[in-house]
């Protein structure tokens, strides 16, 4: 069963014309951009976004991404991108649900996994840095 996560952040996106392909739906690659917008909102909510990650000496590359398309979004459609925090102690795993903002109809599901990499040594960390874990714990308390 798919985990709902410990908390989530919703972000609304208005699908722009330049994201549409010749089939009049959002080109599949643009959904990755929508996930990034929602992931940034989630990290801002945690209080440890990409700027704070870099200041702490870590990069967080995406090492795995899965998308399941149910129905294509269209030009001018208001979509809601829900990012749910699932794992954070050893890696950052986020589940996403993209749905129509008006009807709630599910359009796409996705998952991303990121790991901390120490910038100076370029070594992947086996556990998330303490500063990130503490930021998540502050939100949960």
What percent of the chain clears pLDDT 90, i.e. is strictly above it?
Answer: 97
For residues 75-98, average pLDDT: 98
pLDDT in tens, 89-140: 999 999 999 999 999 999 999 999 999 999 999 999 999 999 999 999 999 9
The CATH fold of domain 7-140: Thiol Ester Dehydrase; Chain A (3.10.129)
Domain ranges of the chain: 7-140
Strand-pairing partners, residue 67, are 110
């Amino acid at each position: 069963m798919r985990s709902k996560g410990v908390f989530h952040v919703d972000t609304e996106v208005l699908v722009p014309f330049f994201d549409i392909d010749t089939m009049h739906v959002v080109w599949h690659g643009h959904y990755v951009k929508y996930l990034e917008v929602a992931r940034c909102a989630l990290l801002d909510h945690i209080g440890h976004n990409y700027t704070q990650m870099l200041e702490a000496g870590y990069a967080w590359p995406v090492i795995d991404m899965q998308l399941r398309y149910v129905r294509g979004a269209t030009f001018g459609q208001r979509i809601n991108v829900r990012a749910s925090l699932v794992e954070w102690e050893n890696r950052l795993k986020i589940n996403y649900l993209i749905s129509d903002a008006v009807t709630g109809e599910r359009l796409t599901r996705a998952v991303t996994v990121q790991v901390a990499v120490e910038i100076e040594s370029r070594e992947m960390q086996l556990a998330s840095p303490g500063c990130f874990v503490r930021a998540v714990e502050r939100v949960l308390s």
